[in-house]
Structure 1
Amino acid sequence: MKVPMLDLSEQYQRLRAEMLTVLDEVMSSSRFILGDHVKKLETDVAAYSNVKHGIGCGNGSDAIHIALQAAGVGPGDEVITTPFTFFATGGAIVRAGAKPVFVDIDPVTFNIDPAKIEEAITEKTKAILPVHLYGQMADMDPIVEIAKKHGLFIIEDAAQAIGAKYKGKNVGELGTAATYSFFPTKNLGAYGDGGMIVTNDDEIAEKCRVIRVHGSKPKYYHHVLGYNSRLDEMQAAILNVKFPHLNEWSELRRERASTYTHLLNEMLGDVVVTPVEVEGHYHVFHQYTIRVPKRDELQAFLKENGVATMVYYPLPLHLQPVFQELGYKEGDLPEAEKAAKEAVSLPMFPELKVEQQQYVVEKIAEFYKK
């Protein structure tokens, strides 16, 4: 049996007629930049996040960068974040001119450990950038408390967590702003790049809108250095077709996660550490990530047997060659380093079949029985 990491074909066939209709509308309108489809998506995603503003931009990486710049983060500033995340998180901080300061993770959730944040704060600290990894929000109450105490901005990297909740609150409600990615593999994915910033802060929202169009307001008058980072009208049209299905897809992901957990616990006991949905959280399972011994060997065995897996992420940011000048060394952030050696993500998408999941788990069990 072949089990892909992600298969978008069934989803597309279900939505194909509607997709073709809206794309024809865009082509016929000849309005391709910041048109009505972008405005609708911005309004709907902001409402979904229970905030006032949505600002569409070119991709999730730019969304973080623009949000940081809008919050006034720049040269000489420090931003506290996690080392266990996609490169865009740390890269956006450096692109904004600031220095990333990495804090170790909670081994249960893979998210930044709030208990380690305060000791990393200096007089140069300007913001905290928590990442809601794999679809579960970070522990935000203590992060918000620390930020208020020290007068810091919070920019939530929610690239993997649209629809996630924390104690009844949505992504974007607890920080200064939050950022989404609409990369095709995301829970709400475009057919190309796309991203969005959501915020309740009127001033931050206006700055984000200006920065994404070369920093101009009005057109051709530039008061800040901005970028060309606008959400494409065609991608917005595609996302508007998909968006009404997001809650259904989140529930299907949660069902698939529950099935995996049941099968893994039944067949392998404590050999595999399965994901934990922390009390008070609503996990949307962008990834279903387990911890295992002999991870690389398991991954090779599964590949031989037709099962795709991914390692998110094999080298923490503090050990990346591009960040070597920051002075981190192996052993500095042990939980992130341990996770990088043990974590592996299994196939996860709403259309995943139970028999496919059974096959995946049977093959994992077969590997460890050897």
Structure 2
Amino acid sequence: MTIPFFPPDLFEQDRQTFKDLLYEVGTDPEQRFILGRRTAALEAELRLTTGAGHVIACSSGTGGLNLAVQALGIGPGDEVIVPAFCCQPVASSVANLGATPVFADVDPHTMVIDPDDVERLISERTRAIMPAHVFSIMADMPRLTKIARGHGVKVIEDAAVAEGAVLDGVPSGRWGDLGVFSFFQVKAFGTAGEGGVVLTDDPGLAERVRMLRNHGQDGVHRFVHHHIGQNSRFDEILAAFQLHRHAGFEDRLERRARIADYYTERFAPLAERGLLAPPAGRDGRCYYVYSLLARRRGDLRAWLTEQEIGTHVYYPVPLPGQPAFARYAPEGREWPGARYASDHNLAIPIWPHLTDAQVEYVADSICEFYA
């Protein structure tokens, strides 16, 4: 039984639909291939399902973070607090505008940003905090938004991996002043390429993001540039494809959640043997990736490879240890939670069309290793 970590057939059931949509958009007399009526329809659909006041489609999750930071007017002399263990756009979206990413440590179990460290790092230069939901867990948004309000700073919620997750009754992407989803292929609501959205309830920020994604134009007067923007426009073919796939998103997410529930139950007895599963439950959980913390990660990964089960290690070097961000890492500062997460995380398959037999085989193989 071969079970890849990234399956090659994520969109196999949608193959013909994709071809049909490609032909439909390509032969549409309107000949509009970006930011057309299909993009507008997808934005409307996501406003409905998330309750956000405004949803702005863009080229990628990274593009969404870039737009969010720029929309807040953040630049040289400003600081944004970001997690030390995360995908690099949380830092590059800040640094690319001349501002300073300030790295906060993460909780060594949940692997999300530590609110206590965030509060310690706030200074008079702090303009925003950028919590990121990671793998299976949403960040502690109630606490983080309270901290931000108390200090008068903005919140950019990196919900790239967490579309569909809900914490305390509030959907991911809705906690911050701005939120961002990603449509990268393997995300829970991934597409056949790149894409993302920015969510906000602030009409002024929404208007600014819309203009920034299209070279600073307002969408009415072409070649009139109100801001120095960027090209972060969304593709009409992918908009049509996402509209098609959105109808099944809830079922796919539920399947991922059930697999996660099963894994967590099976792995709970292994905590004393050096394998820590994500915390049980569904509140504040996302199911993009199911990542374990394994003391003997190398041995476990080798064992699973022998069993023909694919695995993945994320972010083996924390962001402050990356050459690109060395100048933002104060000498002598340490991030033990991030270092632990980098050294011990191991993600296992959780894609929604895994069969029950495959899920049981993955769990049995891991339990056998620790037996």
TM over 0.5: yes
Report what 1:263 is aligned to.
266
Report deviation, 1:251.
0.7
Q: In the alignment, is the contact (CA less than 8 A) between 1:60 and 1:182 conserved in 2? A: yes
Report what 2:108 is aligned to.
107
Task: Please say if 1:2 is aligned against 2:15.
Answer: no
Report deviation, 1:216.
2.3
Report what 1:341 is aligned to.
343
Report what 2:85 is aligned to.
84
Distance (Å, rounded) in 2 between the aligned partners of 1:284 and 1:146: 23
Task: Please say if 1:18 is aligned against 2:21.
Answer: no
Task: Please say if 1:93 is aligned against 2:119.
Answer: no
1:216 counterpart letter in structure 2: Q
1:35 counterpart letter in structure 2: G
Q: In the alignment, is the contact (CA less than 8 A) between 1:83 and 1:336 conserved in 2? A: yes
Taking a change above 3 Å as real, the CA distance of residues 147 and 136 of structure 1, as seen in their structure-2 partners, is: same
Please give the residue correspondences for 1:40-51 in structure 2 after superposition, counting only pairs within 5 Å: 40-51=41-52
Taking a change above 3 Å as real, the CA distance of residues 263 and 269 of structure 1, as seen in their structure-2 partners, is: farther
Q: In the alignment, is the contact (CA less than 8 A) between 2:57 and 2:195 conserved in 1? A: yes
1:129 counterpart letter in structure 2: M
Q: In the alignment, is the contact (CA less than 8 A) between 1:213 and 1:229 conserved in 2? A: yes
Q: In the alignment, is the contact (CA less than 8 A) between 1:319 and 1:328 conserved in 2? A: no
Deviates more, 1:15-24 or 1:129-138: 15-24
Report deviation, 1:100.
0.6
Distance (Å, rounded) in 2 between the aligned partners of 1:278 and 1:211: 39
Taking a change above 3 Å as real, the CA distance of residues 329 and 44 of structure 1, as seen in their structure-2 partners, is: farther
Q: In the alignment, is the contact (CA less than 8 A) between 1:50 and 1:172 conserved in 2? A: no
Task: Please say if 1:233 is aligned against 2:236.
Answer: yes
Q: In the alignment, is the contact (CA less than 8 A) between 2:216 and 2:229 conserved in 1? A: yes
Q: In the alignment, is the contact (CA less than 8 A) between 1:319 and 1:330 conserved in 2? A: no
**Tell me, which stretches of 5 or more residues in structure 2 are unaligned?**
none
| 1:153-179 Cα distance to aligned partner (Å, 9 max, x none) | 100001100011110011232210101
Report what 2:74 is aligned to.
73
| SS of equivalent to 2:275 | coil
| 1:241-275 Cα distance to aligned partner (Å, 9 max, x none) | 11111111111001111121233336786431111
Distance (Å, rounded) in 1 between the aligned partners of 2:297 and 2:333: 20
Please give the residue correspondences for 1:166-245 in structure 2 after superposition, counting only pairs within 5 Å: 166-217=167-218, 218-245=221-248
Deviates more, 1:57-66 or 1:16-25: 16-25
Report what 1:276 is aligned to.
279
Deviates more, 1:340-349 or 1:11-20: 11-20
| 1:54-96 Cα distance to aligned partner (Å, 9 max, x none) | 1111111110011111011111110011111111111111112
2:15 counterpart letter in structure 1: R
Report deviation, 1:278.
6.1
Distance (Å, rounded) in 2 between the aligned partners of 1:105 and 1:196: 25
Report deviation, 1:277.
4.3
| SS of equivalent to 1:24 | helix
Report deviation, 1:215.
1.3
Report deviation, 1:24.
2.2
Taking a change above 3 Å as real, the CA distance of residues 356 and 63 of structure 1, as seen in their structure-2 partners, is: same
Report deviation, 1:321.
1.0
Distance (Å, rounded) in 1 between the aligned partners of 2:156 and 2:230: 19
Q: In the alignment, is the contact (CA less than 8 A) between 1:136 and 1:277 conserved in 2? A: no
Distance (Å, rounded) in 1 between the aligned partners of 2:48 and 2:83: 28
Please give the residue correspondences for 1:137-148 in structure 2 after superposition, counting only pairs within 5 Å: 137-148=138-149
Q: In the alignment, is the contact (CA less than 8 A) between 1:131 and 1:156 conserved in 2? A: yes
| SS of equivalent to 1:117 | helix
**Tell me, which stretches of 5 or more residues in structure 1 are unaligned?**
none
For this pair of structures, how many residues does the alignment match?
367
Aligned Cα root-mean-square deviation (Å): 1.9
Q: In the alignment, is the contact (CA less than 8 A) between 1:56 and 1:197 conserved in 2? A: yes
Distance (Å, rounded) in 2 between the aligned partners of 1:330 and 1:363: 41
